[in-house]
């Protein structure tokens, strides 16, 4: 293991201390617990949006706490869920009378803890909490039948859900409306990833899986969950072709549709390679007569130093477009009005 750290045990807390020190005007801890992370600005009467999850994915999840996006985030150990108590603390801190919406990725541990926190918030404080669970990795499971539980993992596409729900809350829409927007964003976002090399959890000290020097795994999850195909490393264009087809087929799209695209680096893949991927994505979308409203390229949801990338398409209508275009100012994502 080769990392710039002081000790594996202090990895998460020292990372957080660094973020608080760097952005004191934007974020602060709740009381003494650095794992309970909230925006420095609280707007009265606004729906509070909380998220949370394991560490090791920066900018996810806490990086999107700030103006125009999220209000708070509960932070767990690397790849581990935060506790219900921590989620409850964040919920209390961001609640300002209009209710709180939880938006997080589709992982069992997180679901259990957020559900428990929601019950405690209702029972102990009378705070109304609604929940939207994002799961959009098309490689992780098939589409769920109506009324069936979504079994897909949540990955980078949650960025679009945060962005639209956050903008809706900033417009002072009510809890039911903000939830509707978040659900609509979830329904229109699809992602697939590819991994080229693994990452090492500091307290474990060795890579979480092995991948040969000349191998890649299409569809691998951001904690190293198995993908759909392992094979020889292919060209950028061939990789994109293989990843984009199931993403497009899953919605599906028609000529004339409009999308936002997210090319997301998993931590150790340079921007150069990400733009080589975007080049191909843009060619394919042009061929299909799908227009790109906005492209986002960079690190939005990583897996420590894993190399690889994911592609996300977000199908837009006028409402989602308006919300995506709204300004945002967080430690890790800044955007002027588009």
Answer yes or no whether residue 82 interacts with another protein by CB under 8 A: yes
- CA 156/CA 135 separation, integer angstroms: 10
Answer yes or no whether residue 228 interacts with another protein by CB under 8 A: no
Marked catalytic residue, from 28, 35, 46, 57: 57
Beta carbon of residue 221, minimum distance to another protein (angstroms, whole number): 11
Answer yes or no whether residue 83 interacts with another protein by CB under 8 A: yes
- Nearer Cβ to another protein (192/259): 192
DSSP 8-class letter at 333: -
Beta carbon of residue 109, minimum distance to another protein (angstroms, whole number): 4
- Nearer Cβ to another protein (89/257): 89
Answer yes or no whether residue 115 interacts with another protein by CB under 8 A: yes
- Nearer Cβ to another protein (56/265): 56
DSSP 8-class letter at 168: H
- Nearer Cβ to another protein (76/166): 76
Answer yes or no whether residue 295 interacts with another protein by CB under 8 A: no
Q: Which helix (H) or strand (E) holds 27?
A: strand 27-30
State which of residues 18, 25, 97, 149 lies at the interface with another protein (CB under 8 A).
Answer: 149
State which of residues 109, 207, 246, 298 lies at the interface with another protein (CB under 8 A).
Answer: 109
- 57 given a catalytic annotation: yes
State which of residues 81, 274, 310, 312 lies at the interface with another protein (CB under 8 A).
Answer: 81
Taking the CA of residue 50 as centre, how many other CA atoms within 13 Å lie in the half-sphere pointing to its CB?
Answer: 36
Closest CA relative to residue 161, chosen from 320, 47, 18, 36? 320
Q: Judge whether 157 and 314 are in contact, CB under 8 Å.
A: yes
- CA 113/CA 84 separation, integer angstroms: 5
Binding mask 26-45 for another protein (x = CB under 8 A): --------------------
Q: Judge whether 72 and 201 are in contact, CB under 8 Å.
A: no
Answer yes or no whether residue 337 interacts with another protein by CB under 8 A: no
Kind of pairing, strands 291-298 and 307-315? unpaired
What backbone torsions phi and psi does residue 104 show, to the nearest 5 degrees?
Answer: -155, 175
Beta carbon of residue 277, minimum distance to another protein (angstroms, whole number): 27
- CA 338/CA 331 separation, integer angstroms: 19
Answer yes or no whether residue 51 interacts with another protein by CB under 8 A: no
- The SS3 assignment for 19 reads helix
Q: Given CA atoms 156, 200, 32, 299 in this order, what sign does their dihedral have?
A: negative
User: Could you give the residue numbers annotated as active site?
Assistant: 57, 223
């Amino acid at each position: 293991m080769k990392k710039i750290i002081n000790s594996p045990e202090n990895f998460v807390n020292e990372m957080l201390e660094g973020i608080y020190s760097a952005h004191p005007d934007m974020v602060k801890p709740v009381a003494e617990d650095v794992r309970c992370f909230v925006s420095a600005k609280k707007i009265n009467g606004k729906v509070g949006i909380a998220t949370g999850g394991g560490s090791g994915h920066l900018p996810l999840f806490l990086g999107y706490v700030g103006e125009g996006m999220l209000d708070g985030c509960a932070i767990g150990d690397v790849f581990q869920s935060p506790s219900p108590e921590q989620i409850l603390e964040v919920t209390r801190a961001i609640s300002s009378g209009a209710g709180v919406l939880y938006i997080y990725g589709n992982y069992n541990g997180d679901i259990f803890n957020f559900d428990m926190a929601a019950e405690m918030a209702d029972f102990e404080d009378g705070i109304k909490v609604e929940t939207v669970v994002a799961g959009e990795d098309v490689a992780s499971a098939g589409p769920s039948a109506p009324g069936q539980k979504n079994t897909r993992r949540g990955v980078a596409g949650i960025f679009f859900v945060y962005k639209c729900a956050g903008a809706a809350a900033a417009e002072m829409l009510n809890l039911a409306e903000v939830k509707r927007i978040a659900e609509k964003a979830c329904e229109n976002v699809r992602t697939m990833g590819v991994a080229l090399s693994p990452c090492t959890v500091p307290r474990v000290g060795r890579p979480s899986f092995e991948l040969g020097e000349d191998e890649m795994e299409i569809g691998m999850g951001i904690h190293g969950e198995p993908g759909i195909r392992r094979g020889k490393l292919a060209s950028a264009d061939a990789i994109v072709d293989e990843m984009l087809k199931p993403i497009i087929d899953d919605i599906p799209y028609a000529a004339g549709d409009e999308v936002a695209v997210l090319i997301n680096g998993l931590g150790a893949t340079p921007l150069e390679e990400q733009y080589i991927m975007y080049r191909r994505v843009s060619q394919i979308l042009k061929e299909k007569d799908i227009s790109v409203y906005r492209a986002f390229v960079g690190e939005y949801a990583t897996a420590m130093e894993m190399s690889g990338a994911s592609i996300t398409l977000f199908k837009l209508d006028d409402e989602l477009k308006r919300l995506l275009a709204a300004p945002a100012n967080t430690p890790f994502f800044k955007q002027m009005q588009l």
